[in-house]
Structure 1
Amino acid sequence: MTDRTATDDVSVVIGRELPYLRRYARALTGSQTTGDNYAAATLEAILQEASIFDRAMQPKVALFRAFHKIWSTAGAPTADTEDPGTRLESRALDHMAGLTNNTREALLLSTIESFNNEEIGTVMGIDADEASELIHIAIREMEKSMAGKVMIIEDEAIIAMDIHSIVAEMGHEVTGIARTRSAAVDLGTRERPDLILADIQLADNSSGIDAVNDLLGQFGEIPVIFITAFPERLLTGDKPEPAFLISKPYSEEQVRSAVSQAMFFSSTETLSSPA
């Protein structure tokens, strides 16, 4: 096999996993731009030094391990607080400094990317027991972080009620459930949410993405979690794209993790610390 062929093969393998790396990087940083920059830096590093991507590992593990080498070397990102477009990210990064080191990384790798503890250990350069402990710490710290108002956009009644139950048990107030784009706009107009949980395809064939964009156009920055059976369709590199994305079928742990982190990154002044 020629060097060119080997490079092409690696590119194909990495290409299949790249949407998930971008999803992870965005959730980790709370920003599409910053997350994508870290993903791009990882690809550049692999091109410069092919050994960073260990082909003896499962491709997704190898790619995320390469990302973490870049992430740990660069340290925590910083945002330009003078730029209004990055104020949400800046507040989030300031807040993130108060968390136990490496906990959010371990939690995201487990709940969003479905790595087991051994794989998380390989990605982060720690052992499986430490990975497990970091996950438990993250859950405790993030669920204590904030409480707020959550709006659900979902046309399947069973799923909507399940999400409602999970969110309410976490201590958040659910403002309502909308099944269509127009209903979502009406609901959001009546009571401004601190967080939106939205499906992509709605009951009348309207778009959850359009509903969210309508609300963001009205209110400005609100954290959004999209739920879809086809996450790669929302991770194409085009803008705007979600920082928080859950794949269907989802687990309760995934919803709890995403909600906690989206609330964590919120700059909404109405958010309050639970009693």
Structure 2
Amino acid sequence: MLLRVSVVGQRGDKVYYLLHKFRAAVRQVSPSAAQLFEAWFRSPTASKVGKRKWDAGAIAKAIENNGGGWHGFGWLGRGKWIAARSNINKNGVCLACGEKLTIIDLDPKETEDFATFVAKLAIKRERNLNFEKFQVNAVTDAIRQRRSSKKWPLIVLHNRHLTGERMKKPGNHKLVEKWKQANSIYATPNGSNDDWYWIYAVIRCKCLIITNDEMRDHTFQILEKDFFPKWKERHQVRIVYLTKEKVFIYRS
């Protein structure tokens, strides 16, 4: 209703505000909402509301600070819009204009709030299991070092996976030793939930997590009501094993 009133009333500021509300909160607009947006961009008012001058540097900085994809400075430029229905190919390119869509991540405040929430929750949940924040920061530091040196990804495993019968198999032992020599593995302490370590570290370092884990157990259910679904959608990379020699890694 508010969108319809704003479009019909030719309220450019309100349409801009609602457009970005949709961007942040709605995964797929309804056909009726899409028609309203089309009506707005085809209207004479839409071609006249934009600013004629702006600071390109300030715009670029604002886009970066907002997680990419938008700046929040209002309509920029004037002229007739081209509104058309289109499809997006597998590489994220619009088939109508040829531009690649931008991945809009959590903004810095959302990232900081999410990381703080996860750290506090982890420390509370693992208090009796010798979990300390400095242990998580060790993982974070390791990831940062690897990013700057462009070395192997950091492998985070629970300590139980690196001991016992499975390590008696020559192939397993050889592989783990290779990871250790490359300083590419971090073993979480006995008794701790390794999920807390990599979740916090990946959020804090703003990097990707390579896993096929759908993250549906109790640990992740605790996070569902906050930023977790949005973050997961943008930072998880999955693996498909085509053959023993070929692996396909893709970002969903």
Higher normalized helix content (fraction of residues): 1
More relative contact order, 1 or 2 (CA 8 Å, 6+ apart): 1
TM-score (normalised: structure 2): 0.29
Q: What is the TM-score with the length of structure 1 in the denominator?
A: 0.27
Q: Which has the larger radius of gyration?
A: 2
